[in-house]
Amino acid sequence: MSRTGTGSTNDPRRLLALDPAQIRKARALARKAGGPVVKIAKRHTTVSVERAVLRLAGLEGADVEGIPWVSRLADVVREQVGLEHGVSLPVWDALLRTEDDLLTLAQKAAAGSVQFRIPSGKDSIRAAKAARSAVSVGIRRIDTNRRQRDRMIAKFGNPPAPWIYLIVATGDIYEDIPQAQAAAREGADVIAVIRSTGQSLLDYVPEGATREGYAGTYATQENFRLMRAALDETSAELGRYVRLTNYASGLCMPEIAALAGLERLDMMLNDSMYGILFRDINPIRTFVDQRFSRQIHARAGIIINTGEDNYLTTADAVEAAHTVTVSQLLNEFFAKEAGLEDWQLGLGHAFEINPTVPDSFRLELAHALLARTLFPDAPLKWMPPTKHMTGDIFNGFLHDGFFNLAGILTGQGILLVGMMTEAVVTPWLSDRDLALQNVRYVFNTAGNLREDFRPPPDGFIASRAKEVLGEAVDLLEAIVDDTLLDAIGDGTFGLMKRPANAGRGLEGVVVKDRDYLNPATDMLDEGATR
């Protein structure tokens, strides 16, 4: 299979004669719009951020009811002394006083036999030092996993772009594993295990290997470990590193990000606004959680995938094209502020224009080229058609073929394999095999067609890209004037109105005290390991 990236002759990002000053203005506006949100995120913590700290310190397992010990411990701390100071000071103060280990303390706390306090003076200093030492174990494990990934990539090499991204999710991790391995043998470069429907709304992370899930498989630490081990075996068998993806989103975004780093996942779905818009999670909760989760991803060397494609399932893909660009620019700002680098920004966009619209393919090319031009060093994630799939498998197969062609022509970095029954039924294994055949056919026959693809600078494609960029700048100026939180509340993105004072998880948001302590964020900010 001949596949090409974006660094050779006739680079797609050079094909649009966009105004550099306008691009700089767009980024400056995104920074101005996102800055106040970052300040809000820094002033708050959440129950999930605090539970993630406990996970990094090594607390695992659940009680007989299946509730994780991190949840039990964080809940008792909050009931007794609040979370304004974080969990670290009261928990490690109690550990020093009782000489228990973390699991025993959690069990005693759940039984009501521990009294927490906010230590002061020398007790506070000792507790802070002990907490940092415990959390550093998890940070060092994340660092070790990153080095292990780097060694495996150095040994096996990276596949050429675009990487073929394929979904596996039966609900049963032990069924997912052989399907994922088979998909890798058939050419998939990235295996994505979709979460069970509704997990994003659970305010805890299930424990252990799971065998039941609806339209997906639960994201748990053990499921991460099992799939990573299986794909390592397949990587050695095939002589190429196979990447693993899951979802760091929803009410437990920070915890799942920590677990991904601890178990060496390679990509995570992690969008700054997806949970707000499509799961009605409180905006403040989401922005606080996403900042911490992205700090973890940055440290772990994980590539994030953002969710702009979802806007086009609820809004018109032509009229709302500029909202995708705005979201990409905001996602870039929030990601870089949290420490992510360009090569980790799998910014999303999608092939969702109604195929009956005249020149729909040319419009898709314009939007895809615009994204590639604005983010030349990012591994853009190109999403297949779903909204206008009708159940006509022949039409769907052709539609996916045009999607694959657009990906080749515009130099996309990560190409999610489209299936002809996408969004109609759960695709059969045979659908996946045919979809991979479609990808291979287009890549083999048109892989170098981009060398001849030169849309004129004043033609339809370039003009449409300039139009969308101009609309994006106009929208960013309006957002700066009205604030990003107000824009989200007004339904600017995906037509979803989500006010900042409502939504799921609001009760889990806490304003930090002046003496708040989080050794994980301290070490991530410092780049320290202990």
Tell me which residues are annotated as active site.
274, 309, 381
Rounded to 5 degrees, φ, ψ at 5 are: -100, -145
Q: For residues 349 and 371, is the Cβ–Cβ distance under 8 A?
A: yes
Helix (H, G, I), strand (E, B) or coil at 530: coil
Alpha-carbon span 267 to 242, nearest angstrom: 11
Q: What angle do CA 248, 404, 352 make, to 5 degrees?
A: 65
Rounded to 5 degrees, φ, ψ at 342 are: -55, -40
Structure tokens at 133: 């030492």
Could you tell me whether strands 381-383 and 348-350 are parallel, antiparallel, or unpaired per DSSP bridges? Answer: parallel
Find, among 422, 424, 425, the residue nearest to 166 by Cα.
422
Q: 35 CB contacts (<8 Å, ≥6 apart)?
A: none
Structure tokens at 199: 């997990």
Residue environment code for 47-63, b if the CB has 16+ CB neighbours within 10 A, otherwise e? bbbbbbbbbbbebbebe
Alpha-carbon span 334 to 27, nearest angstrom: 12
Question: Is residue 33 within a helix (H) or strand (E), and if so which, with residue range?
Answer: helix 20-43
Within a 13 Å sphere around the CA of 272, how many CA atoms are in the beta-carbon half?
29
Quick one: DSSP state of residue 390? -
Structure tokens at 25: 């203005």
Q: 467 CB contacts (<8 Å, ≥6 apart)?
A: none
Find, among 488, 428, 9, 20, the residue nearest to 275 by Cα.
488
Q: Residue 390's CB: how many other CB atoms inside 10 A?
A: 11
Side chain identity at residue 403, one-letter code? F
Find, among 115, 264, 240, the residue nearest to 189 by Cα.
240
Residue environment code for 223-261, b if the CB has 16+ CB neighbours within 10 A, otherwise e? bbbbbbebbbebbeeeebbbbbbbbbbbbbbbbbbbbbb
Q: For residues 282 and 503, is the Cβ–Cβ distance under 8 A?
A: yes
Quick one: DSSP state of residue 357? S
Sign of CA dihedral 394, 400, 403, 407: negative
Helices (H), 271-359: 274-279, 283-300, 311-314, 321-337
CA–chain centroid gap for 5, Å, is 22
Phi-psi region at 332: left, alpha or beta (left = phi > 0; alpha = psi -120 to 50): alpha
